[in-house]
Amino acid sequence: MIAIGVDIGGTFIKVGLVNEKGKVIDRGKIETIKDNPKTCLENVSKVILELIKKNKVKVSGVGIGMPGLLNNGTLIESSNLKPWLGTNIASVINKNTHIKVAISNDANVAALGEATFGAAKSANNVILLTLGTGIGGGIIINKKIYDGNKGQGAELGHVVISLDGEKCGCGRNGCLETFASARALIRQAIKEMELNKKSYMWKLVDNNLDNVDASTPFKAEKHSDKSAKKVIDNYVKYLSQGILNYCNIFRPEIVLLSGGVALQKANLTNKVNKYLKDHYYGLKGAEKVIVKTSTLGYDTGVIGAACLILLK
Ligand SMILES: [Zn+2]
């Protein structure tokens, strides 16, 4: 069986032909046209049809991973594709290609891809968090996506960690996203740098705060920088508290981290696993929850989206 996986991002859209072993056989990539979803989805449809023609294959369907909140294939909430709101992405692609289409939120499909072919292959129950500009969430229960009524659940980034926290894009205060996204980490690093002009983080960014990224505090910590350590300890504490909440609800075997901050790999997961070990509810005698980083990398979105078809 072969399926098409489409990974829609704010800048690029990746399209791949994926076989039943989760291998990407061929791929295409186009730019996202933010202000013109119609033309953009026509371009996506062209790439899909070209890939099928070029490889002389029959595909079982098109799976799509889309950032934002969907209602039966229609985008109803999005942070950076506002002109796409109201577009039924699934039905447009189906109309253009005459191929069966399945669609889900991008974090859900990433979780499905990792639980099928990636870092959580061994697990039945998985939580995935994408630590990027915001925090996306994917929930896998018994190897299937759990996304609530009409696919609108699993918004794990918008679980409140502190009522007195900062205002979140969703309208509430103190969501996990405001503490543990890459953007939040950068904000916290800048705050500490301003308090400590001697921090090694200044050297790493050539004294320019615009150069601070999610790796800056982790690099500085290796040089025994106290401010960086404070930023990371705080970050790990809040991220882990969020994960502990999910553990108490779902008790997954594996929690996967992906996105910008997860590029730190063991440097991050070792700290989080240690924090969890000291703070589990019912730790003694209970099964451990292991925090890992995702492994499918560049192809996660495409493979995960194809899984929407391959696993049917
Ligand atoms: Zn929120």
Mean pLDDT by 10 residues, the chain (312 residues): 96 97 97 97 98 98 95 89 96 98 96 97 97 94 94 93 94 97 97 98 98 98 98 98 94 95 97 90 75 94 97 88
CA of 167 to the centre of ligand 1 (A): 8
Distance 154 CA to ligand 1 centre (A): 12
d(CA 132, ligand 1 centre) in Å? 14
Closest CA to 9 of 87, 147, 106, 97: 106
Output the pLDDT for position 151. Answer: 87
Distance 177 CA to ligand 1 centre (A): 6
pLDDT at position 72: 87
Cα of 174 vs centre of ligand 1, distance in Å, is: 7
CA 311 to ligand 1 centroid distance, Å: 31
Distance CA 110, CA 115 (A): 9
Q: Are 157 and 175 in contact (CB under 8 A)?
A: yes
Dihedral sign from CA coordinates of 265, 302, 67, 109? negative
**Ligand 1 centroid to 70 CA: how many Å?**
17
Instruction: State in Å: Cα 230 to ligand 1 middle.
Output: 24
Q: Look at residue 283 in the predicted model and tell me its pLDDT.
A: 58
Q: Which amino acid is at 231?
A: V
Distance 239 CA to ligand 1 centre (A): 14
Cα(265) to centroid(ligand 1), Å:
25
| Residue 103 burial (10 A CB sphere; 0-12, 13-18, 19+) | buried
Q: Cα(168) to centroid of ligand 1, in Å?
A: 5
- Name the token pair of 169: 């894009």
pLDDT of the residue at 282: 61
Compute how many other C-beta atoms are within 10 angstroms of the C-beta atom of residue 32: 18
Half-sphere exposure of 227 (CA within 13 A, CB side): 21
The pLDDT assigned to 13 comes to 97
Q: Which structure tokens are listed for 151?
A: 């696919």
What is the distance between the terminal CA atoms of the chain, rounded to a whole angstrom? 11
Distance 171 CA to ligand 1 centre (A): 6
For position 233, what pLDDT does the model report?
98
Distance from Cα 191 to the centre of ligand 1, integer Å = 21
Q: How far, in Å, from the CA of 169 to the mean position of ligand 1? A: 6
Give me ligand 1 centre to Cα 308, in Å: 27
Task: Output the pLDDT for position 40.
Answer: 98
Question: Looking up tokens 């980490």, which residue turns up?
Answer: 185
What's the one-letter identity of residue 119? Answer: A
How many Å lie between the centroid of ligand 1 and the Cα of residue 164? 13
* pLDDT of res. 288: 84
pLDDT of residue 312: 82
**Interval between CA 134 and ligand 1 midpoint (Å):** 9
CA-closest candidate to residue 65, choices 115, 102, 29: 102
What's the 61 CA to ligand 1 centre distance in angstroms? 34
CA of 55 to the centre of ligand 1 (A): 43
Task: Kindly give, in sequence order, each residue whose CB lies less than 8 Å from that of residue 217, ignoring residues fewer than 6 positions away.
Answer: 185, 188, 189, 192, 201, 225, 228, 231, 232, 235
